[in-house]
Structure 1
Amino acid sequence: MATKQQFAELATQPKEGERNIYKLYCPYNNCSSVILSPGMGILRKRAQIPKSFTDLEKDEKELSTSEGNGEVDLFWVLGDPFDFDNLGFSKSSSAGVKYLACADCDRGPLGYHDSNFLAEEGGKEFLLRANLVLYVLSQ
């Protein structure tokens, strides 16, 4: 199997608006679950991350990620939750936010869905944070 890499280590950096060419994996040790298949997500910048998402991320010591300024982050955006390979959702928070976690190891959050937000195209968005998952180039 090819080596799993973090987003910042990729030789071919995806650009905003492009579809993923990689298989995306759960980033946690001892979990090899595929989260997203190639071609399923579109890379987008999103400015509004629910506060509790960043708080939960800071509490996770085992996961190493590149630090951002919290204002704008890159996400793999999907319009249908069934397009993920192996991802679970939390119950909605009081603000209508559901957090995304690995369905095999139940760890996360790896992204979120805000039920109060409609995309420019009029649909829902399910956001997987680009720098929280591991990548393997599809063969």
Structure 2
Amino acid sequence: MTEVAKFAEQITNDKNNTNVRCQFCNSLMLKAHEGKYCEQEIDVPLMVQSKDNAAESLSTETLRNFWQIDDMMTFENIGFSHTVDGRKFLVCADCERGPVGYHELATKRCYLALQRVVHSDK
């Protein structure tokens, strides 16, 4: 199954058709129909880092599927990290787990990774 096929049921007319929530505390991050689906390859730090790597650089994974949010005020509950290479990473504002995506300072757009959130209206 391709990555796009895995997320097809969450996408209607290139928008998120359900609410987007934190996978850890179920906090509402983004309401339905507020994010636009986009694909790009970006290396994002892993949500859990190895303690063996603590003194070195962060371990990352390449993410490809995102909800693009053009205005950061669209979010219901999101936190921002310190700036790293022109980006701020997004975390859950309630439990502070993440990163669940990133904020691009140059364009002022936010990108929420489909792989790191839960799609649910509950």
Q: TM-score range by the shorter chain?
A: 0.7 to 0.9
Letter in 2 for 1:114: E
- 2:92 equivalent to 1:102: yes
- 2:31 equivalent to 1:12: no
Q: Distance in 2 between matches of 1:125 and 1:32?
A: 23
Q: Structure 1 residues 98 and 77, CA, compared in 2 at 3 Å: closer, same or farther?
A: same
Q: Structure 1 residues 13 and 80, CA, compared in 2 at 3 Å: closer, same or farther?
A: closer
Q: Matches of residues 58-73 of structure 1 in structure 2 within 5 Å?
A: 59=49, 70=62, 73=64
Q: What percentage of residue pairs aligned between the two structures are identical? A: 31
Q: Matches of residues 1-139 of structure 1 in structure 2 within 5 Å?
A: 8=6, 12-14=9-11, 18-28=14-24, 31-47=25-41, 49-50=42-43, 53-54=44-45, 56-57=46-47, 59=49, 70=62, 73-93=64-84, 95-116=85-106, 118=107, 124-137=108-121
**Structure in which a larger fraction of residues adopt strand:** 2
For 2:15, what is the secondary structure of its paired residue?
Answer: coil
Unaligned runs of 5+ in 2: 51-60
What TM-score do you get using the length of structure 2 for normalisation?
A: 0.76
- Once the 2 structures are TM-superposed, how far is the Cα of residue 59 of structure 1 from its aligned partner? 2.4
Would the aligned equivalents of 1:21 and 1:137 in 2 still touch at CA under 8 Å?
no
Q: Distance in 2 between matches of 1:92 and 1:57?
A: 17
Letter in 1 for 2:49: D
| Larger RCO, structures 1/2 (Cα 8 Å, 6+ apart) | 1
- Once the 2 structures are TM-superposed, how far is the Cα of residue 131 of structure 1 from its aligned partner? 1.2
Number of paired residues? 108
Unaligned runs of 5+ in 1: 1-6, 61-68, 119-123
